[in-house]
Chains A and B, each alone.
Chain A
């Protein structure tokens, strides 16, 4: 089938209704999908991400996790444009090494967060298309989550979801962890088992309704003993 009415009134190419997205001109960015989530507890932190890498309506890889280990107490989750995710994590790794050699100690979670903010703002006018969430333990051993926007604005949180299904996950976390919009419910502190179960359930729900989330879930649990990784299968369709 050949389309005769392919150019619209203003000379730009019109989008086809029935195929996937069409590129109009060269864009340096592309959206590779993926969702990340981080939760901070009393003495633990959890960073979780799905492992699907997609572009348009196709899948590039079913096994591309978005959590990257930075130090023994910090994990970063990056989703968005995969090219920028890889470059950004390489830059952070290099800066961590430089810090370790100059100061003879590892960077703390708070310090990494502050450094990432400056790195991202350094590219204010050609940003890294990455949604970052750092999860780890702070100096006192308590769980910490730092969430970022693509140009470096950040804040410390108890829980945060980022990436393509973030709008579906964040309200659920607000309700289950933050106990928002509920009356007469006991505010119990979050235990590690309950937090892991909640993260798994929440990703199962996200995979049902978001096309970019699925395949498998990689969970990194950070405690003072170290970082434990767990993989759970999700919908593959």
Chain B
């Protein structure tokens, strides 16, 4: 049976093709005394809430690799469809690829059926895929969107669990953010108040959690359209270094120099005008 949203029907049952490959790779690497590469995690604070006019999603922008900050301005709010965006916490590659795959599948569905996808459909596809991989894909996602049935906010866990909630926070800074949300959330909030609340929730996650930090991104989804504000608030800590650290040319010593001339012969010359209108 051909599904309207996927190019290839996934094989039934659990797919463990890569397990034996991973074990073999690990043996190869550990045998040669090299460590297997550690995946980069986002170590994040993400939050979302449903307000009167739509859905507001927020995220910090720090990606850590162990205890080192790998990326100070990484984008954690991913595009799914014109009416849906998804925040991702967990392993960075997993969240990016999962959301990319979901987005492609939903585009195919839109073209096949001529409709905008609904949020429940996206959530079911995500749940299907994550459960099939039994938690090996480390992606905790907050999916928010507006469709013909209303404004929705869902969370999908790495093992495939879902929850439909009015407000939510995920990631390593989730407890700090949830504290703020629990205190000030009211149903049917105004848009500006909702944006401030999400911003405050992410800010508390940034200050309390070492793995979250830097700037705050906000994404507002309404019936009229999407407002992706990146960054909504820049980090207040600017570079205040006192000395200049520029090097004069010639500071790096040149040990040897080898010049190899390329023998080129002009065989044919054509000119093609570019349309610069």
Contact = CB atoms under 8 A, between A and B. Distances in A.
Nearest to A176: B245
Nearest to B172: A57
Given A201-B242, A210-B69, A211-B69, 18 more contacts: A1-B159, A5-B134, A18-B91, A20-B172, A57-B43, A57-B210, A58-B209, A59-B210, A176-B245, A184-B250, A200-B242, A208-B72, A209-B69, A211-B64, A212-B67, A235-B235, A237-B207, A237-B214
A22 interface: no
B138 interface: yes
Interface in A123-146: none
B207 A18 contact: no
Interface string B194-212: 0000000000001111111
B158 interface: yes
Contact of A211 (B67, B159, B171): B67
A10 interface: no
Contacts of B157: 1
A103 interface: no
Contacts of B235: 235, 237
Interface in B40-59: 41, 43
Contacts of B158: 17-18
Interface residues of A, number: 35
Chain B, interface SS category: loop
Interface string A1-32: 10111000000000001111000000000000
A4 B159 CA distance: 9
Contact of A59 (B208, B247, B248): B208
Nearest to A204: B241
Contacts, number: 95
B138 A17 contact: yes
Interface of A: 1, 3-5, 17-20, 54, 57-59, 164, 176, 181-185, 194, 197-198, 200-201, 204-205, 208-212, 234-237
A18 B134 CA distance: 15
A3 B159 contact: yes
A17 B64 contact: no
B210 A54 contact: yes
Number of chain B interface residues as a range: 35 or more
Given A183-B252, A209-B68, A211-B69, A19 B172 contact: yes
Task: List the 10 shortest-distance A-B pairs measured between CB atoms, nearest first.
Answer: A17-B138, A237-B213, A211-B210, A183-B253, A235-B237, A1-B157, A201-B241, A18-B90, A197-B242, A237-B206
Interface in B119-173: 134-135, 138, 140, 157-159, 161, 171-172
B239 interface: yes
A182 B247 contact: yes
B102 interface: no
A164 B212 CA distance: 18
